[in-house]
Chain A
């Protein structure tokens, strides 16, 4: 069952749902708009001939880190997301979900209609998650799109589970950061 705006507000106020910082967050009727952080990891916008990647390879993340560039959006800098481009970013907000809540990060319709998506078939946020949300941002439209830190980039849907997830993270995982 999705949480409504009032339920989201209550969950945040009671500490059941962690959302930090709250500045810039906007609660929608059944979701929460979150904002884009300062850093982007930028993939090559051109096909890279001669390289194929086995996604199951354990070293694939090191490969990605070595083959993307980091862009800083602080101090009002703008990144132009060209048509066909793909970057990885994250939310400013850190989200913490207890074992009886799960989340789904989705795009905003304003951006979708310009051709911009914020995840690639991986929207699920598991119960017990406690971190900033990583976004896979791409542009399928014909225009370059300006990305700025602090812009409302995605919306988070929160769902209450029928019963809590098993084998959750108590003890050492509490009080992260």
Chain B
């Protein structure tokens, strides 16, 4: 899978990703937070700014930026490690979208 194979959406779609406490570990690091979560048996992580988390720390905003085959390209807010990016199977993403 290659960057050039990605079909970028003309307008990225704002989404909110749920962070169910039983599936997620949040590790603060200065003003960033490392999210480590398990979805459908797969593990994903992202370092995001702490301001990006909801007040109850149960969700985080993101963008659906494009798709590549059966996977979705998801961008998170930029942290001190740049822009966290997931290429995540659509079925996994749908499990963690806040409706």
Contacts and interface: CB of A to CB of B under 8 A. Distances in A.
Contacts, number: 75
A128 B83 contact: yes
Interface residues of B, number: 29
Interface in B32-47: 32, 34, 36, 43-45, 47
A62 B27 contact: yes
Contact of B61 (A41, A128, A172): A172
B83 A173 contact: no
A162 B86 CA distance: 27
A118 to B, nearest CB: 13
A131 B61 contact: no
Interface string B68-95: 0000000101111011000000000000
Contacts of A90: 30-31
Contacts of A58: 36, 43-45
A61 interface: yes
A173 B12 CA distance: 13
Interface residues of A, number: 30
A62 B78 CA distance: 20
Interface of B: 8, 12, 14, 16, 25, 27, 29-32, 34, 36, 43-45, 47, 49, 51-52, 61, 63, 65, 75, 77-80, 82-83
22 contacts: A37-B30, A39-B30, A41-B30, A58-B43, A61-B27, A61-B29, A64-B29, A65-B29, A90-B31, A124-B82, A126-B82, A127-B78, A128-B77, A128-B83, A131-B79, A131-B80, A132-B30, A167-B75, A176-B49, A176-B51, A176-B77, A177-B51
